[in-house]
Structure 1
Amino acid sequence: MTTRSLEAAMNAHHEHPETFNVHGMLLFGEDPLYFSHLPMFEHPAHRFQVLMEVDFRDDVREAVRADQKAGDIQTFVPEPFDILELDPGDGGPARTSVAGTVFHGHFERGGSPIAEGVTARITRVSCFRRLDPELRHDDDGALTYLCFGRAGRLHLAHEITARPDFDQVLPVRIVPGTVRHDPDPQIPGDVTAEDFSRPVQVTFGRLDRPRHRLRAGETAEGSFSLGVSRTGSHGFTAQVEVAAEFYMETGDLV
């Protein structure tokens, strides 16, 4: 860490000591790559659900892609920083990069470094949500995910709401020919959920509990919300096919 970055880190630590910490990230995707902050209700610094697009220099990106072929998850351990610097409100996040180490596997559960002392460039923070540890989870609510990605490379991240909850990331695809739009004429006819650079909320007809979560290999109908206008809520339904389960965690969210 340079003298200037160390000074900035210490200033952030002094200003927001409760959110200055080592913020571990799940690393996944191909083009683009993504970080998903690994949240915890117990620690004030980690009560955030954050999704962001990132990139590395070419050699690191190639090392990440080569390691992906070996299976298992990948995680990223950055140097300590204030997670509030990732908040995209008020014109964008104050932080545009994080330095740290890429791990094969979970860095706290036997993972091994594959690229140390590297910098991840943050190209977009698409989700930044503070989690309230005092709220209790509604087990009778609808199973809800955030859908994001690019054509042919979509992902779902379970929307974390209240404790106890679960963190899950899935690569998915929209089954061709299954998109059914709302009848409202304001909805573009070419919207097919194939380009979500910003997350879109999607709900499924099942309870929001870990045992009812989407699983690798299954296909389920989801209702995609495109927002609300003067004429009401807009969106579409489509069959979603789950390719795999990148990550699933319940223990950190009790």
Structure 2
Amino acid sequence: MNTPAPSPQHGGHEHIHRFLILGKEKLFFYHLALYNPDLGHHYQAVFTFQVEDGGALKQMYLEDLKKNEDKRVYYAVRCPHHFELPELQNGLDFNVYLERVVVKEDGSRDFQQMTPAEAPPVPVKCRPEDVLYFRDLSDRPLPYPQHLTYLAFGAGKEVHLAHELAERPNWDEVITVATKQTINDETLKKVPPLVIESINDPKGVIKESLLKKGQQYQGKIGGSNLTVDFIVGRQGWWNHTSLNTA
């Protein structure tokens, strides 16, 4: 499939931003981070963008997801033009293309543009309140935690967990889970850490998830005594390679 002209290069690396798409009812967008601060992607961030196309992108994404629900296929939006990611904190309008990200047998990823080549990019608006979580990975890096720790976000019955990116090297993962106890939306908007005390953090890079699909685990919402039992569902992203080396 044809793709638009390459965007500006930065340090020998394509300096554009991609945001993972998560959810079915309400869409959440997770920035695909890289530790290397020279590339401009050294931010772990969660957003709720307004996609201003009358729902066409969401429909295309959901229809394709339905066909690939049980495959290692992820979905993202790619920005064809460069901006510095912290600009989103003050609000920003930008354009995106929808992508299907297919994981090959060797673990490499194939980014396939789903937006038709002849179609214009989709307009997206980010308001300051759409920035749910934003952390600079190069600014006082978090030490490796004692226990496996994720960031919880979502709405209603759709809860997503993103592995909290502490020291480098590490791995980036997002999964969708079914919780036994309700986590209210106000708590999820704060993107709190969820600590799984039954699993020690490996304090380094791993090649596959420690959380197995279909299995149940218990996590504790950081800063509270609230414990949540959850069953692991679909994996929406995994990266233990370019995250550390790009």
TM-score bracket for the superposition, by shorter chain length: 0.7 to 0.9
* Alpha-carbon spacing, 1:127–1:83, altered in 2? closer, same or farther (3 Å): same
Partner of 1:186: none
Pairing partner for 2:99 from 96, 103, 112: 103
Q: 1:200 to 1:131 in 2, by over 3 A?
A: same
Aligned: 1:55 with 2:47? no
**What amino acid does structure 2 have at the position aligned with 1:236?**
L
What aligned pairs does 1:175-186 form with structure 2 within 5 A after superposition? 175-176=180-181
Q: Does 1:119 align with 2:113?
A: no
| Equivalent position SS for 1:217 | coil
Runs ≥4 in structure 1, deviation > 6 angstroms? none
Going from structure 1 to structure 2, the CA distance change for 1:163 and 1:137 (only over 3 Å counts) comes to farther
Equivalents in 2 of 1:175, 1:136: separation in Å? Answer: 29
| TM-score, structure 1 as length reference | 0.73
Superposition deviation, residue 134 in structure 1? 8.2
Q: Does 1:197 align with 2:192?
A: no
Q: Provide the TM-score with structure 2 as the length reference.
A: 0.75
Residue equivalent to 1:181: none
Question: Aligned pair count?
Answer: 208
Which residue, out of 71, 83, 86, partners 1:84? 86
What is the RMSD computed on CA atoms of the aligned residues?
2.7
Once residues 25 and 131 of structure 1 are traced to their aligned partners in structure 2, the CA distance between those partners, rounded to angstroms, is 17
Secondary structure of the residue aligned to 2:63 is helix
1:252 is matched with which residue?
A: 242
Q: Matches of 1:94 and 1:121 in 2, distance apart?
A: 8
Unaligned runs of 5+ in 2: 1-7
**Amino acid paired to 1:241:** I
Q: CA separation in 2, counterparts of 1:75 and 1:137?
A: 29
Query: Is the partner of 2:109 in helix, strand or coil?
Result: coil
Shift of 1:26: 1.4
C-alpha separation in 1, matches of 2:22 and 2:183:
20
State yes or no: 1:132 paired with 2:133. Answer: no
Aligned equivalent of 2:3 = none
Q: Which one of 192, 214, 217 corresponds to residue 217 of structure 1? A: 214
Offset, 1:55: 3.5
- Report the CA distance between 1:216 and its aligned residue: 1.4
- Distance in 1, Cα, partners of 2:49 & 2:218: 30
Match of 2:200 among 202, 207, 212: 207
Percent identity, aligned pairs only, is: 22
For residues 129 and 168 of structure 1, what CA distance do their matches in structure 2 show? 16
Equivalent residue letter for 1:131 = L
Distance (whole Å) between structure 2 residues aligned to residue 219 and residue 133 of structure 1: 34
In structure 2, how many angstroms separate the alpha carbons of the residues matched to 1:235 and 1:105?
38
Code of the residue aligned with 1:111 in structure 2: it is: F
